[in-house]
Amino acid sequence: MSLLRAISLRELDLSEEELIRLSKAVAELDQDLVEKITRELLEKKVTPSVIIEKGLVKGIREIGSKYESGDFFITELMYGANVFNAGYKILEPHMKKTEDSGEQRTTVILGTVAGDIHSIGKDIVKAMLIAEGFNVHDLGVDVSADAFVAAIKDLKAGIVGVSTLLTSCLACQQELMNKLQGDGLRENVKIFVGGAATTESWAKELGADGWAPTAVEGVRRIAAVTLEVRKS
């Protein structure tokens, strides 16, 4: 084996070790270490897609598993999403569309409705959807129905997640559904509602395509609906 080949393999081994360290840092909620390792991997020319898949994603999935088993509580789940996003934000400027495997990824739009500035649940869903390979566009908080509709048209989104923590803002979810119907877009997009103010009965009354009691379950149901659509 040539010296150059040996050095190349050694660098690969070191990168694999760092990716394992990164996934553990995410799972252990160590944001400073996540940011440090993510930057180091970029400096070593490891592609963002590999860093996400083999580092950040493994960590956030472990957090989700710990939450479902009762080892983590909502506080850890919330902070875990922040830790994941801290690493992801470092990678975003370096990501290119050409890194995609060629498989068409479902585009998901997320946002908290107008009048509501709560983002915790939405941010958890965002982190876990990214981990599952969705193309996620977060519109943020206090998002009007018109802004949702404009984003759906612009991004040709297949799924929209609409959150609200305030019962006073449920009417904004209804306004969005009415606008989608009026613009002839309703049949082209799956609408999921969530947040503390929502219930399964409200989702049915609204005519939404899905609802879940937790962020983790919401991601699971979005993934299931997406799989059904692809098979049809």
Q: What is the pLDDT of residues 172-194, one digit of tens each?
A: 999 999 999 999 999 999 999 99
Task: Give 41-90 pLDDT, tens digit per residue.
Answer: 999 888 888 898 889 989 998 998 898 899 999 899 889 999 999 999 99
- Say which CATH superfamily domain 107-231 falls into: Cobalamin-binding domain (3.40.50.280)
Residues of each domain in the chain carrying CATH 3.40.50.280: 107-231
Write the secondary structure of 190-218 as one string of H (helix), E (strand) and C (coil): EEEEECCCCCHHHHHHHCCCEECCCHHHH
Identify whether the C-beta of residue 164 lies closer than 8 Å to the C-beta of residue 112.
Answer: yes
Domain(s) of CATH 1.10.1240.10: residues in the chain: 3-99
Q: What's the pTM value of the predicted model, to 2 decimals?
A: 0.74
Domain 3-99: give its CATH code. 1.10.1240.10
